[in-house]
């Protein structure tokens, strides 16, 4: 894994862990170890797939399954595009959302991340831009679901992560 991808994954894990802890305090049942494992491994195949010859989510899922991490494999498989909303909130949604809040290793708003993703991956093609916007529409819905349970706004994520202690 390239250093920049590792740094991104560590920051996603921090955001996901902070959100997980806050959601648990609000009464949501989540396994922080699973959330952190999913966040740390969500881009495990990114380096291998940088040339565009493979889907890093699919290859990452395969890697996790090959090592017996079936619960983590589901998170890795769906961290790019969430196929369905799971009720109640699960580790999958937390990692999916946390990944969308981190550009490289910087915590940003969904608006900032969407602009970056469109610029980097759309190649100016309207159908790709539309797909990205559809996916971010789901992410905005996920943000509303998550923060409806919390006593903080999405804008407070970076501050809360900076105040938190992580053992990874």
In this structure, of 6-20, 82-96, 127-141, the range with the lowest mean pLDDT score is: 82-96
Query: What's the pLDDT at 45?
Result: 98
Element (H, E) at 152: none
Sign of CA dihedral 85, 88, 94, 97: positive
> What CATH number is given for 3-163 in this structure?
1.10.3210
Query: What's the pLDDT at 52?
Result: 84
Note the pLDDT tens digit of each residue in 2-35: 999 999 999 999 999 999 999 999 999 999 999 9
**Average model confidence (pLDDT) for the chain?**
96
Q: Is the pLDDT of residue 130 over 90?
A: yes
What Cα–Cα distance (Å) separates residue 148 from each residue in 32, 65, 87? 20, 33, 14
What would the mean pLDDT of 114-137 be, rounded to a whole number? 95
Query: What's the pLDDT at 30?
Result: 98
Q: Tokens 């889907």 — which residue?
A: 55
Q: Tokens 């969904």 — which residue?
A: 110
β-bridge partners, 26:
none
DSSP 80: S
DSSP 107: E
pLDDT above 70: percentage of residues in the chain: 99
């Amino acid at each position: 894994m390239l250093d920049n991808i590792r740094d991104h994954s560590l920051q996603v894990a921090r955001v996901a862990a902070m959100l997980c802890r806050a959601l648990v305090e609000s009464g949501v049942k989540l396994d922080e170890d699973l959330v952190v494992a999913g966040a740390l491994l969500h881009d495990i195949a990114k380096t291998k797939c940088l040339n565009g010859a493979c889907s890093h989510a699919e290859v990452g899922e395969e890697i996790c399954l090959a090592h017996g991490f079936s619960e983590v494999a589901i998170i890795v498989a769906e961290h790019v595009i969430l196929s369905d909303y799971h009720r109640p909130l699960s580790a999958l949604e937390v990692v999916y959302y946390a990944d969308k809040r981190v550009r490289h290793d910087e915590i940003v708003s969904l608006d900032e991340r969407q602009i970056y993703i469109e610029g980097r991956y759309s190649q100016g093609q309207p159908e790709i831009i539309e797909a990205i916007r559809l996916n971010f529409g789901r992410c905005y819905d996920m943000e509303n679901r998550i923060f409806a349970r919390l006593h903080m706004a999405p804008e407070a994520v970076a501050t809360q992560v900076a105040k938190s202690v992580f053992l990874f």
